[in-house]
Chains A and B, each alone.
Chain A
Amino acid sequence: MKRNQCDPPSSVRAQGLALFVLLPVLAGCDGVQSALAPAGEDASVLATLFWVMLIGAVVLFTLMNGLFFYLTRIRVHAQSETVARWLMIGGGIVLPVVVVGTLLVWGLSILPDHRQGGDGLRIHVTGEQWWWRVEYWPEGADEPVIAANEIRFPAGERTELVLESAHVIHSFWIPALGGKMDMFPGRETFLSLRPTRPGTFRGQCAEFCGASHTWMAFDAHVMEPDAFDDWLAAQTEDAAAPASAAAERGAELFGREGCGACHAIRGTDHVGTVGPDLTHIGSRTTLAAGRLGVSQSDFQDWIAHPDALKPGVEMPPFDHLSDDEISDLARYLRGLE
């Protein structure tokens, strides 16, 4: 466990206190989908906000319940009415005004960061049932680089996200990088993120969107800017040609089974846009929007029984194919790097 991934408040004293009180909690707060293990500016600010509020909450909770215990168990006999009146005014008015006022000033000052302009790259994400259509629009680009089901960011740059949905409401969320934003049909929403720490993090749909809401996830890769540029350049390329006999057979099956009606593979005749673009599916780190890994057997399972893995999914099962055929198809797709 990498305890240092948690990002407690910057002030050393607060940090010390937080560590003392919350040691067991701190030990468990990392993870690829954790808001408490921030890997970006936005998430860091919010994690700090949380830790400070948590300390305040623990203090206030102890005061209030301690007072109740004191009055009902320790000093049960009657005390002065003046004290009572001051308790009501002090506790009911003065304390909340001060605490909440301070918190509001700080909390709301963070608010504008959430939608500040980016440094050039714009990513357009559309929520589908249940996957993510992704377009990269580098600064000045005339046409986007089409991808799906994973999002890559250059570290240290602020990237704008334009969010939309095809059917129902979804919510776009990468906890390690920042807050979430809902995605609506017929309306665009905006979010900007500035990841700082390279690595792979997990994002997930946060608005209930139907049967397979659970399985609408993705990997978010934060890359060094140079590596990101290389990767993006590679994504603009057409798909790789089949590199083995098995992959050849798979490519032929792909056409024969009509996969191209829904899926596009650039550089081939397949131009469907109903499902995710598969041009570079072999370079992704998950299959079916975070549902599976990318091993040969993952691909085979998915092709044969998508509905068993993702209830309600629109892709039909291809279990009428023989095991060998499914294996060939998987080999072809895995080769599309």
Chain B
Amino acid sequence: MSMSNHPPQDRGREPRGTYPPDQAELDTPVPDELCRAQATRLRAAWKLPKGWRYWSEVNNIQIGKWYATTALIFMLCAGVMALIIRLQLAVPDNDLVSADRFNQLFTMHGTVMMFLFAVPMFEAISILLLPGFLGARDMPFPRLSAYGYWCFLIGGLFVISSILFNIAPRSGWFMYPPLAIDDEGPGSDIWLLGLSFIEIASIIAAVELIVGVLKCRAPGMRVNLMPLYAWYVLVVGGMILFAFPPLLAGDYLFELERSLDWPFFDPARGGDPMLWQHLFWIFGHPEVYIIFLPSIAIAAMVIPTAARRPIVGYSWIVLSAVGTGFFSFGLWVHHMFTTGLPAISLGFFSAASEAVVIPTGIQLFAFLATLLVGHVTMSLPMLWIAGALAVFTIGGLTGVMLAIAPFDFQVHDTYFIVAHLHYTLFGGMIFPVIAGVYYFFPVIRKKTLSPRLGRWAFWLIFSGFNICFLPMHLTGLLGMPRRVYTYPAGLGWDGLNLISTLGAFIIAAGFAVFVWDVFRPKGKAPDPPRNPWNAGTLEWSHQIPQEYWGIRSIPHITSRYPIWDQPGLVERIDNGRYYLPDAPNGQRETLITSVIDARPMQIQRLHTPGWITHIAAVFTGGCFIFPAFQMYWPAVICGVAAAIAILVWLWAGTARAPTPDHRDAGLGLSLPTYASGSDSVGWWAMWITMLGDATAFASIIFGFFFYWTSQDDFPRDDALHAGGWETALAALALAAAWALVVLARGSDRAGRIGVARIALSAAALCTALGGGALALAVLPLEPAAHVYPAVICAIALWIGAHAALGFVMQLYCLAGSIAGKLTPRHDADLCNVTLFWHFFVLSSLVACAVIGLAPRLL
């Protein structure tokens, strides 16, 4: 990270006092009286709101529980859909449901499981547990978590309820054009808009989780001491950031074709349905690992505890996780082996798909190695891990088979694939997550689950799963394609399908037992021991009964397994003898530390419960939901209302400068309460968000060059180009706007507030000019006529929307400066806006080159 822009010595914001804490300081007891008073103040600051205000809570513990419960309910809904599917397929020529209803069911089953369960469940578990793993009080942006959750809930209900009205998407979870484009009714729009909305919520959560891991670790917890789960969160968060934007870009093009008839995927007008397949699977394959890696992470927490020793090959596992994440972006074409791509592509992607076996293998064998050197205690969570291994190895081995392209030619789009993907997802997600639920339940609910019911659930789900899905391998090899709503008798599929249906209901019985165990009233059950598995990681310093402050005092960490290796740690935490033991202003706070070596840097004020997040989420939802029914004006109104709500939220919350400037953090250390630039969490969040945004933009540019390489006449010789002069003017004006924002930041910091305000005003003018010029440049084009003007207009529209955003940001900073919220000392907002403009000026210059220059040169 660069510190050059804002040397800390100029700002008087460096930490003062001793760090690392010396032993004498650590040995000093805190007087009982003071300790109790501190605890009372902390408890008051983190108090759970009562009554209906409970739902305004933003604390990670509540948001995490709501998030996980919601995702679980969506999963059960998708499970019920699966049972109907299995009933329909139990016997040949069945007419339990119609073809149309069946197509809605399988589309929604896949969609809900992927978008409303698997990824949100990872984010839910991480939001719930990550602060515990890291020794943080909460996530860095509690209101953002809340906003993400409410968006997820609204979007999820919207998408899932469509099946009750018989208007659900019905073109498969992959939505291949032209089928999904031509589909009548709102189904495809519900999919595109509803899921875009949820994907944005997912990206929000990913940003929050990444910043949490990077900046909210306990002091001393250097990156090589982080629990493995945190590493996996980092890898998976990064993958979400690079995988979801291509799909969002695809959704954007797709919805433009659905609403405005811009022919991106229509071959008759120069479009190409293959572009969607590429964008979808550039998302879709990493998605598999986005689901799988967090569950490996749960195993990485459970296994050392079971083996009663540290994990073997920590750095190997970290590198393998990063490697898996990296490789997963190079495999997408194995979903397209049968599309007639050149043999050289097939060979390359076959090899790449096989190569991912190596990092996966290292992770699995590192777990086995840990069990080998440890003294293993089998427990209920370990039983689920054993089931996960058995199921996942079958899925992995069939994956090795499928990566061989010629074999895939036979079984692609058959029940063999259905079996394969369920083996990887059950083994790589369901079983480890349930293991995690049993393992972490004392932390989450301060109760234990029933070992007896747990065994019942395990054997029902495990046997049911294999009865259901093992025969499907053969069903597929006997020629049964996927996504058929029925089949004729006598092809050898009848008995196999009946067995699969039987298995599906056994799985359902197992889930019924599990869900009952989780939700049954446990009021009378005795409190479990605080650390029932004798684990070594920080989350087991939690308190029973529940305290909402996350951790009583934030410890100094010197080991990967601090509870095992740092004697007296838990007692010291409890007695408030570490950092931030108090809430003197009655505010919620957590400690911000440096990215690599976790030196304490700042006391971060956290937001308290509020309703603004709900208002923002509802209007954001309206903005996405109305267009699915061609109600564009209500959508625009909702969009404006959402923007206003978010501005109010920022203006009234984030922009307040905290007082005092420095505060005692405990153990002789005094820390600043404000940070700007790369010291602040907001700057990191902006950086990460803009990486995702740049990826989406790159995907649209990829589309332009995809058409150019795949077609001989793109653009056609007689094609009308965007106005050259107007495009050049737009580039110039947007570059000037950027330069003025940079100037404004520098002047403001140097105390020349007047110059800064003038620069911001001029920047806003330039932005408006640039956006206007770009609009004029593309105005004569007819995007519905051919894909070339369509893709030019799509790029211009993207840049235009971002210019509008940049314009609002400039005015926001100007208003902040005038209102005295943004001062030379408190300029975090302006730093973040500058960072946005760094990214945006790059993408607008690229866009102008592609719109104005490239077609004239190509």
Which A residues are closer than 8 A to B by beta carbons? 25, 28-36, 43, 45-46, 49-50, 53-54, 56-57, 60-61, 64-65, 67-69, 71-73, 76-81, 83-85, 87-88, 90-93, 95-97, 99-100, 103-104, 107-108, 110-115, 167-169, 171, 173, 175-176, 178-182, 184-187, 189-190, 202, 204-214, 311-312
Q: Once the chains bind, are A35 and B411 in contact (CB under 8 Å)?
A: yes
Q: In whole Å, how far is A94's beta carbon from the nearest beta carbon of chain B? A: 10
Q: Once the chains bind, are A61 and B312 in contact (CB under 8 Å)?
A: no
Which 8 A/B pairs are nearest by Cβ-Cβ distance? A179-B409, A186-B267, A33-B479, A92-B362, A107-B404, A189-B340, A91-B365, A84-B369
Q: Which chain B positions have C-beta within 8 A of A111?
A: 343, 346-347, 405-406
B572 located at the interface, meaning its Cβ lies under 8 Å from any Cβ of chain A in the complex: no
Q: Once the chains bind, are A85 and B409 in contact (CB under 8 Å)?
A: no
Per the bound structure, the CA–CA distance linking A184 and B266 in Å amounts to 11
Per the bound structure, the CA–CA distance linking A89 and B267 in Å amounts to 50
**Interface mask (B330-348 → A, CB under 8 Å = 1, otherwise 0):** 0000000011100100110
22 contacts between A and B (CB under 8 A): A46-B409, A50-B477, A60-B397, A71-B368, A72-B371, A72-B382, A76-B376, A87-B365, A87-B372, A91-B364, A92-B316, A93-B358, A97-B358, A167-B178, A168-B176, A169-B178, A169-B273, A176-B479, A181-B340, A186-B267, A187-B272, A209-B179
Per the bound structure, the CA–CA distance linking A142 and B141 in Å amounts to 71
Q: Once the chains bind, are A185 and B407 in contact (CB under 8 Å)?
A: no
B393 located at the interface, meaning its Cβ lies under 8 Å from any Cβ of chain A in the complex: yes
Per the bound structure, the CA–CA distance linking A81 and B310 in Å amounts to 12
Q: Once the chains bind, are B393 and A60 in contact (CB under 8 Å)?
A: yes
Q: Once the chains bind, are B393 and A71 in contact (CB under 8 Å)?
A: no
Q: Which of A34, A56, A90, A311 contacts B477 (CB 8 A)?
A: A34
B363 located at the interface, meaning its Cβ lies under 8 Å from any Cβ of chain A in the complex: yes
B400 located at the interface, meaning its Cβ lies under 8 Å from any Cβ of chain A in the complex: yes
Q: Which chain A positions have C-beta within 8 A of B605?
A: none
Q: Which chain A positions have C-beta within 8 A of B405?
A: 107-108, 111
Q: Which of A31, A53, A87, A212 contacts B492 (CB 8 A)?
A: A31
Which B residues are closer than 8 A to A by beta carbons? 98-100, 103, 171-172, 176, 178-179, 182, 267-268, 272-274, 306, 309, 312-313, 316, 320, 338-340, 343, 346-347, 350-351, 354-355, 357-358, 361-366, 368-378, 382, 386, 389-390, 393-394, 397-398, 400-401, 404-414, 474, 477-487, 491-492, 496
Q: In whole Å, how far is B785's beta carbon from the nearest beta carbon of chain A? A: 17
Q: Which chain A positions have C-beta within 8 A of B316?
A: 88, 92
Known contacts A79-B373, A88-B362, A180-B409, A211 near B103 by CB under 8 Å: yes
Q: Once the chains bind, are A35 and B478 in contact (CB under 8 Å)?
A: yes
Q: Which of B99, B176, B364, B479 contacts A35 (CB 8 A)?
A: B479
Q: Once the chains bind, are B368 and A34 in contact (CB under 8 Å)?
A: no
Q: Which chain B positions have C-beta within 8 A of A88?
A: 312-313, 316, 362, 365-366, 368-369
Q: Which chain B positions have C-beta within 8 A of A169?
A: 176, 178-179, 273
Known contacts A182-B339, A214-B487, A83 near B372 by CB under 8 Å: yes
Per the bound structure, the CA–CA distance linking A113 and B406 in Å amounts to 9
Known contacts A92-B366, A108-B404, A46 near B376 by CB under 8 Å: no
Known contacts A29-B477, A211-B99, A211-B100, A168 near B340 by CB under 8 Å: no
Known contacts A25-B474, A107-B407, A182-B339, A68 near B354 by CB under 8 Å: no
Q: Which chain A positions have C-beta within 8 A of B377?
A: 76
Known contacts A64-B389, A214-B487, A185 near B178 by CB under 8 Å: yes
Q: In whole Å, how far is B138's beta carbon from the nearest beta carbon of chain A? A: 36
Per the bound structure, the CA–CA distance linking A90 and B182 in Å amounts to 52
**Contact residues of B: prevailing secondary structure:** helix
Q: Once the chains bind, are A208 and B172 in contact (CB under 8 Å)?
A: yes
Q: In whole Å, how far is B401's beta carbon from the nearest beta carbon of chain A? A: 5
Per the bound structure, the CA–CA distance linking A198 and B354 in Å amounts to 37
Q: Once the chains bind, are B358 and A190 in contact (CB under 8 Å)?
A: no
Q: Which chain B positions have C-beta within 8 A of A65?
A: 389-390, 393
Q: Which chain A positions have C-beta within 8 A of B482?
A: 206, 208
Per the bound structure, the CA–CA distance linking A80 and B369 in Å amounts to 10
Q: Once the chains bind, are A208 and B171 in contact (CB under 8 Å)?
A: yes
Per the bound structure, the CA–CA distance linking A27 and B752 in Å amounts to 86
Q: Which of B320, B361, B373, B479 contacts A95 (CB 8 A)?
A: B361
Q: Which of B103, B312, B338, B484 contacts A180 (CB 8 A)?
A: B338
Q: Once the chains bind, are B361 and A96 in contact (CB under 8 Å)?
A: yes
Q: Once the chains bind, are A33 and B478 in contact (CB under 8 Å)?
A: yes
Q: Once the chains bind, are A81 and B273 in contact (CB under 8 Å)?
A: no
Interface hub of B316, B338, B408 (most chain A Cβ within 10 A)? B338
Q: Once the chains bind, are B312 and A30 in contact (CB under 8 Å)?
A: no
Q: In whole Å, how far is A212's beta carbon from the nearest beta carbon of chain B? A: 6
Q: Once the chains bind, are A57 and B361 in contact (CB under 8 Å)?
A: no
Q: Which chain A positions have C-beta within 8 A of B306?
A: 72
Q: In whole Å, how far is B64's beta carbon from the nearest beta carbon of chain A? A: 30
Q: Once the chains bind, are B404 and A68 in contact (CB under 8 Å)?
A: no
Per the bound structure, the CA–CA distance linking A211 and B496 in Å amounts to 24
Q: In whole Å, how far is B217's beta carbon from the nearest beta carbon of chain A? A: 27
Per the bound structure, the CA–CA distance linking A151 and B383 in Å amounts to 52
Q: Which of B373, B374, B407, B412 contacts A50 (CB 8 A)?
A: B407
Interface hub of A25, A31, A92, A114 (most chain B Cβ within 10 A)? A92
Interface hub of B346, B369, B389 (most chain A Cβ within 10 A)? B369
Q: Once the chains bind, are A206 and B412 in contact (CB under 8 Å)?
A: yes
- Extra pairs beyond A168-B182, A202-B491, A214-B99 (16, CB < 8 Å): A34-B478, A60-B397, A64-B393, A76-B376, A83-B372, A88-B312, A88-B368, A93-B361, A99-B400, A100-B357, A167-B182, A182-B340, A208-B483, A210-B171, A213-B484, A311-B99
Q: Which of B178, B404, B410, B484 contacts A43 (CB 8 A)?
A: B410
Q: Which chain B positions have C-beta within 8 A of A93?
A: 358, 361-362
Q: In whole Å, how far is B691's beta carbon from the nearest beta carbon of chain A? A: 30
Q: Which of B99, B378, B410, B412 contacts A72 (CB 8 A)?
A: B378
Q: Which chain B positions have C-beta within 8 A of A176?
A: 479
Known contacts A25-B474, A29-B474, A179 near B267 by CB under 8 Å: no
Q: Which residue of B lies closest to A175 (CB)?
A: B479
Per the bound structure, the CA–CA distance linking A32 and B480 in Å amounts to 11
Q: Once the chains bind, are A92 and B477 in contact (CB under 8 Å)?
A: no
Known contacts A72-B376, A88-B316, A214-B486, A104 near B407 by CB under 8 Å: no
Q: In whole Å, how far is B337's beta carbon from the nearest beta carbon of chain A? A: 9
Known contacts A28-B474, A67-B368, A84-B312, A61 near B268 by CB under 8 Å: no
Q: Which chain B positions have C-beta within 8 A of A34?
A: 477-479, 492
Per the bound structure, the CA–CA distance linking A189 and B374 in Å amounts to 56
Interface hub of B312, B354, B410, B411 (most chain A Cβ within 10 A)? B410
Q: Which residue of A lies closest to B342 (CB)?
A: A115
Q: Once the chains bind, are B338 and A181 in contact (CB under 8 Å)?
A: yes
Per the bound structure, the CA–CA distance linking A193 and B135 in Å amounts to 63
Q: Once the chains bind, are B393 and A46 in contact (CB under 8 Å)?
A: no
Q: Which chain A positions have C-beta within 8 A of B366?
A: 88, 92
Q: Which of A53, A68, A178, A312 contacts B368 (CB 8 A)?
A: A68
Q: Which of B171, B365, B479 contacts A31 (CB 8 A)?
A: B479
Per the bound structure, the CA–CA distance linking A46 and B371 in Å amounts to 39
Q: Which chain B positions have C-beta within 8 A of A76?
A: 375-378
Q: Once the chains bind, are B273 and A185 in contact (CB under 8 Å)?
A: yes
Q: Which of B99, B374, B478 contacts A78 (CB 8 A)?
A: B374
Per the bound structure, the CA–CA distance linking A212 and B100 in Å amounts to 9
Q: Once the chains bind, are B340 and A87 in contact (CB under 8 Å)?
A: no
Q: Once the chains bind, are A175 and B410 in contact (CB under 8 Å)?
A: yes
Per the bound structure, the CA–CA distance linking A94 and B116 in Å amounts to 38
Q: Once the chains bind, are A208 and B362 in contact (CB under 8 Å)?
A: no
Q: In whole Å, how far is A127's beta carbon from the nearest beta carbon of chain B? A: 12
Q: In whole Å, how far is A57's beta carbon from the nearest beta carbon of chain B? A: 4
Q: Which residue of A lies closest to B390 (CB)?
A: A65
Per the bound structure, the CA–CA distance linking A254 and B375 in Å amounts to 82
Q: In whole Å, how far is A234's beta carbon from the nearest beta carbon of chain B? A: 28
Q: Which chain A positions have C-beta within 8 A of B408?
A: 179
Q: Once the chains bind, are B338 and A29 in contact (CB under 8 Å)?
A: no
Q: Which residue of A lies closest to B355 (CB)?
A: A100
Q: Which chain A positions have C-beta within 8 A of B480?
A: 33
